Amino acid sequence: MDEAPREFGFNTRSVHAGQRPDPYTGASATPIYQTAGFVFEDTESASAYFNLQEYGNVYSRIMNPTVAAFEERLANLEGGAGAVGFASGLAAQAGLFFALLEPGDRIAVAKALYGGSTAQLNHLARKLQITVDWVDMDDRDGWRRTVTAETKALFAETIANPGGNVLDISLAAAVAHEVGAPLVVDNTFATPYLCRPLEFGADLIIHSATKFIAGNGTTIAGAVVDSGTFDWSNGRFPSIAEPSTAYHGLKFHETFGVYGLLMKLRAETLRDFGAVLAPFNAFLLLLGMESLAVRMDRHVANALAVAEWLCDQQSVGAVRHPALPDSPYRPLVDRYLPAGAGSVFSFDLESGREGGRRFIEALSLWSHLANVGDTKSLVIHPASTTHRQLSDEELAASGVAPGTVRLSVGLEDVDDLVWDLEHGLQAARGSAVTA
């Protein structure tokens, strides 16, 4: 009688999921299969691989063993059936929506979204002729009011960039499933350590693995994780349930069951558009993921300490860390992110745009950089950089104030981080208060 398979803990799976010691060499670390192609055993095998009748390596634009190890590790940690790696988070996002949507479709998307995602969705909307219906994710009735029988997908971030809004995952999932649409969640800021949206009813996950998954600011990468539980044969997704012209009439959902969408994403989308994750990059992600839980605990603790310190500083206005006791998102954090709300949040300097500029330029430890989720602490002031061209009114419309500063708190000693921020605040105070 088989012993029931053991359910290993998160840390164990972070270290081991997706790979075993190499049976041929004994190598303990995952080999970097830096190869473009793979030699076939014989013509019959080659044919079987191309027709998807047999699992085998064909070409690193479609599959690669090192990338597969990363994909499996991420899927395992998220609780999904599988994952497909992409060149970047935005590539994963574009790939998924390309696979799911047809011209004329509508999607419901949270307004509080990474600016790059918004730009991409508007771009896709024009080219694919789909309609994006924007939703106020803070409004409990927002999804229900916006979603219609024509909505083909719902999309939001677990923790929004940079406002720290937290998604009510179960609520959004319920609304999505009422109309037979999947809920897609960008889980980048949380990572599966802090939140596993699939457990709350989400159907698909997108990651920019560039951030906390890699954890070290070295690698641009992305992935889609599929729960495998959404019913693509409900009549609303012909691209997944109907015969594929690329594979001689193969129906992905019928033939591959739980793995239908994943196979389509890989064998059609990734194959045709080529936004592939490089084997060496996947190796770096695997290394980072080994310490995911340990790193996230420190990120969370450091960020809360920094946020609490900022709350005590006179020249600081709002501090939008979702786990602070008076944050409007605290109840959602308690429910969906009990181990912490990540380490990216924003605050407002009372000295406005000019104060923000001086603040940034007075820092010597925090890195002024466009990224988040690094071991190094990072800072950016949108009003003097990414949003410099916007007037104050336009800034407000995009959810950013002239003095808004976004922090990505890293793994340095908190005392050092606060020491450096103090210099920044002094420089900001030295400037005239501007609107």
Partner 1 sequence: MQEIVLNAHTVAIVGLSASELRASNFVGYYLQRHGYRVIPVNPNEEQVLGEQVYPSLRDVPEHIDVVDVFRDPAAVPEIAREAVEVGAAALWLQFGVISPEGARIAQEGGLAVVMDRCLKIEHARLLGRMHWMGFDTGVIAGSR
- Give the binding site for partner 1 (CB under 8 A): 2, 5-6, 8, 12-13, 16-21, 23, 26, 28, 48, 51-57, 63, 65, 67-69, 71-72, 75-76, 80-85, 243, 248-251, 254-259, 262-263, 266
Query: Which CB, 6 or 126, lies closer to partner 1?
Result: 6
| Integer CA distances (angstroms), 407 to 102, 116, 304, 305, 382, in order | 38, 18, 12, 13, 11
* Burial label, 147 (beta-carbon count in 10 A; 0-12, 13-18, 19+): buried
Residue reference for tokens 């010691």: 21
To partner 1, the closest distance from the beta carbon of 156 in angstroms equals: 24
Residue 154 host element (H or E): strand 151-157
Query: Which CB, 27 or 370, lies closer to partner 1?
Result: 27
To partner 1, the closest distance from the beta carbon of 79 in angstroms equals: 8
To partner 1, the closest distance from the beta carbon of 248 in angstroms equals: 7
To partner 1, the closest distance from the beta carbon of 75 in angstroms equals: 4
To partner 1, the closest distance from the beta carbon of 217 in angstroms equals: 24
Residue 107 host element (H or E): strand 106-110
Query: Which CB, 26 or 235, lies closer to partner 1?
Result: 26
Query: Which CB, 175 or 263, lies closer to partner 1?
Result: 263
Identify whether 243 is preceded by a cis peptide bond (ω within 30 of 0): no
Closest Cα partner for 411 from 380, 367, 357?
367
Q: Residue 408 in 3-state DSSP?
A: strand
Q: Are the C-beta atoms of 414 and 306 separated by less than 8 Å?
A: yes
To partner 1, the closest distance from the beta carbon of 68 in angstroms equals: 5
Query: Which CB, 79 or 115, lies closer to partner 1?
Result: 79
Q: Following DSSP, what letter does each residue of 23-76 receive, concatenated?
A: TTT--SSPP----SB---SSHHHHHHHHTTSS----BTTT--HHHHHHHHHHHH
Query: Which CB, 80 or 217, lies closer to partner 1?
Result: 80
Query: Which CB, 286 or 349, lies closer to partner 1?
Result: 286
Assigned token pair, 221: 């990468």
Query: Which CB, 258 or 318, lies closer to partner 1?
Result: 258
Q: Are the C-beta atoms of 262 and 96 separated by less than 8 Å?
A: no
Question: Which residues, at least 6 apart from 184, have a Cβ–Cβ distance to it below 8 Å?
Answer: 96, 153, 154, 155, 156, 202, 203, 204, 205, 206
* Burial label, 224 (beta-carbon count in 10 A; 0-12, 13-18, 19+): buried
To partner 1, the closest distance from the beta carbon of 2 in angstroms equals: 6
Assigned token pair, 22: 């190499």
CA dihedral 68, 73, 75, 77 (to 10 degrees): 180
To partner 1, the closest distance from the beta carbon of 273 in angstroms equals: 17
To partner 1, the closest distance from the beta carbon of 30 in angstroms equals: 11
Query: Which CB, 60 or 161, lies closer to partner 1?
Result: 60
To partner 1, the closest distance from the beta carbon of 404 in angstroms equals: 38
Q: How far apart are CA 101 and CA 419, in angstroms?
A: 49
Closest Cα partner for 263 from 247, 280, 277?
247
Tell me, what amino acid is at 345? F
To partner 1, the closest distance from the beta carbon of 408 in angstroms equals: 28
Query: Which CB, 48 or 174, lies closer to partner 1?
Result: 48
Query: Which CB, 10 or 309, lies closer to partner 1?
Result: 10
